Amino acid sequence: MSQDVERVYTVNLGKVLLSPDNQRAKRAVNMIKEFARHHLKIEQVKLEEDVSHLLWARGIKHPPRKIRVRMTKTDEGYVLVSKYEGEEESIEKEEEKTEPQKVEPSKVEPEKEEQSLKVEPEPAAKPEPEPKPAAKPEPAAKPKPVAKPEPKPEAKPKPAAKPDDVPEFFKKKDEEIKKKTKSKSKD
């Protein structure tokens, strides 16, 4: 006598990020099951394959932060969790409603209807499949240009110190060193 109860929930899976990255998708599955047990008060929960694919689509390390699901309490005594697609269905219905409104045959004059009926068979016979341009074969993988070794910057000769720039103290030291080297070479 129990009726199928169907509810749509958005399950926040943000806390999945607290678990180790190599176990996140598994944890997301468990979080959805815990959420269903808590909200629908039934211990046995089954996930549809679409929900599982949605959780595992980006791998074990990067499950989605939120997921929109439809939870259905069945007569067999379990909760079935399926992917929610209600928003997409309502968009499609709106598009279907707008298309018939564009063409209103009641406003068209009877003479124009006859002309439009005469014109319609001609375009049906005319359309010929246009020859598609031959697909250009994609060039084979181009070898990557080998990076040329950058030329090593040559050591630039340091500009010789101008005698005016050098303090006198250093001039005297240099002269003493020169004298000493000369004297040693004589010995």
Is residue 85 within 8 A of residue 98, CB to CB? The reply is no
Is residue 126 assigned to a domain? no
Q: What is the pLDDT of residue 142?
A: 60
Question: Would residue 119 count as lying in a domain?
Answer: no
pLDDT digits (tens, 9 = 90+) for 82-114: 999 876 655 566 666 665 555 555 554 555 555
- Please indicate, yes or no, if residue 67 is contained in any of the structural domains: yes
Sheet (strand 5-12) strand order: 5-12, 66-73, 79-83, 45-47
User: Is 45 within a domain?
Assistant: yes
pLDDT tens for 38-54 read 999 999 999 999 999 99
**Residue 56 located in a structural domain:** yes
33 inside domain? yes
Mean pLDDT value of segment 133-158: 60
Number of domains the chain contains: 1
pLDDT, mean over the chain? 75
Which of residues 23 and 154 earns the better pLDDT score? 23
| Residue 26 covered by a domain | yes
Q: Is the dihedral of CA 91, 94, 100, 103 positive or negative?
A: negative
Residue 75 has pLDDT above 50, yes or no: yes
Residue 175 lies in a domain: no
Give the range of the structural domain holding residue 58, as residue numbers without chain letter: 5-85
CB atoms within 10 A of CB 9: 17
CATH number of the domain encompassing residue 59: 3.10.440.10
Does this model's pTM top 0.75? My answer is no
